[in-house]
Each structure stands twice: as C-alpha cells, then as structure tokens.
Amino acid sequence: MEDDHPDLPWPLTGADSLRDEVLAAYADPARGHHGVDHLREVLRRLDELEEAGARYDRVPVQLAAWFHDAVYDGERDAEERSAVWAEHALAPLVDEATVAEVTRLVRLTEHHRPEPEDGNGCALSDADLAILASGAQRYDQYVAAVRKEYAHLPDEVFAAGRGDVLRQLAAKPRLFHTAHGLATWEEPARANLARELEKLPPAEAD
C-alpha cells in the first residue's frame, strides 16, 4: 500500500502494517471529509508550515496527523478513541515520550486550542483547520463532504448542529496559531465561515 500513496509520508520504519491499518480506516467509504484526502491535505499543510518557518517535532506531529481522525463516526468521543488507538498501537514501536505526545496532540484536535508556546500543537491544529481557508469551490466541496458524514440526520438537525460548530469557530480570537497560518489562512477562513453561516438558520435564543 505504501507505493500506492507516496504523498502520504509515514515516519516509522518497519511499521507498514500499522500504516496500512490506519489508512484503511480513512478509506472507509462511509467517510466524507474525514477521509484519505483530508489526511493528505493535513500532511501537506504541515510541510507548508515547516517551509514557512514553523518549528515542530516532525515524528510525533506526523503520527498525530495520521491518528487524529483514525476513528471517525460522528460520535463525540472520536478523538479520544483515536488517541487510545494510537496509545496502544504505538507503544511497542516508539518511546513513551513520543506516545504521550502523539496522544496529547490527537486529543487537542477536539478543541483546537493550543497554547502559544506549544509548537507541535499549533502546527497540527493549523494544518487540520487549513481546509477552512480554501477557495470557494473547494470549501463548498468540504461542506458537502461533511454533510455526507451526517446523512442520517434530517436537514434541520444537521443545520442546527453545523451552525453551532461554525459559531464556536468564529468566536475564537484566532483560528490559526502559527505565524504563517495567521497571515495566510485567517482572513479567507473567516470569510468562508461567514458565507456558510449566512445560509444556515440563526442560533436559537436560550
């Protein structure tokens, strides 16, 4: 499988079977946005951030990118189950500190609120959210792919939940935490969020 995906860098030598297992999870046809293309984009954005001067520990951050959506089924604890998978699967392959850092980073992607001094967390969070700064056509494809993952929900239920997610993102003081992310992705991402929110019903009053 490795030869089939040369654009998906995997940082562990001699662990191809684990790589293939995680990749198979992303390739589940039930997934929409959180599939192989998302993994590929996150890994590419990490490279982009590094080229732009962001400093992070490549092995744990790449592994966290691989595992951050390893479990994805629309349930609220997907990040936690992904972290547990990483913890168990990586324990025989890398040192304890790397396992701990990977699982910390996977859990961080639930809220995307890294501390300013957390170079690893800032890089992974920014790479994961960079899709928000896509051009209009790509962004609309992303929204449609997210809807596919919640096809079991009626339109009004999905719209309410999606609106909540978007408003939480829009309320953040900043979406991106690296210098490159803030300078390059912040403005188009906020424009996309605003454009999508305009199409959704307003939040219900408490």
User: Would you list the DSSP string of 10-63?
Assistant: ---TT-HHHHHHHHHHHT-TT-SSSSHHHHHHHHHHHHHHHHTT----HHHHHH
pTM: 0.93
Tell me the one-letter amino acid at 185.
Answer: W
Mind listing the domains of the chain with CATH numbers?
A: 2-198 (1.10.3210)
Contact 87, 105 (CB under 8 A): no
Three-state SS sequence of 144-163: HHHHHHCCCCCHHHHHHHHH
Tell me the one-letter amino acid at 125.
Answer: S
Contact 98, 63 (CB under 8 A): yes
Both tokens assigned to 55: 């400093």
For residue 71, the 8-state DSSP code is S
pLDDT of residue 2: 43
Residue 114 sits at φ, ψ, to 5 deg, of -70, 150
- Distance CA(58)–CA(110), nearest Å, equals 21
* CA-based torsion, 140, 186, 77, 201: positive or negative: negative
- Distance CA(63)–CA(86), nearest Å, equals 9
- For residue 76, the number of C-alpha atoms closer than 13 Å in the C-beta half-sphere is 2
| Local structure of 204: helix, strand or coil | coil
pLDDT of residue 204: 67
| Local structure of 110: helix, strand or coil | coil
pLDDT of residue 52: 98
List per-block mean pLDDT (blocks of 10 residues) for the chain, which spans 206 residues: 69 95 94 93 97 98 97 85 97 98 96 96 98 96 92 93 94 96 98 95 67
pLDDT of residue 202: 80
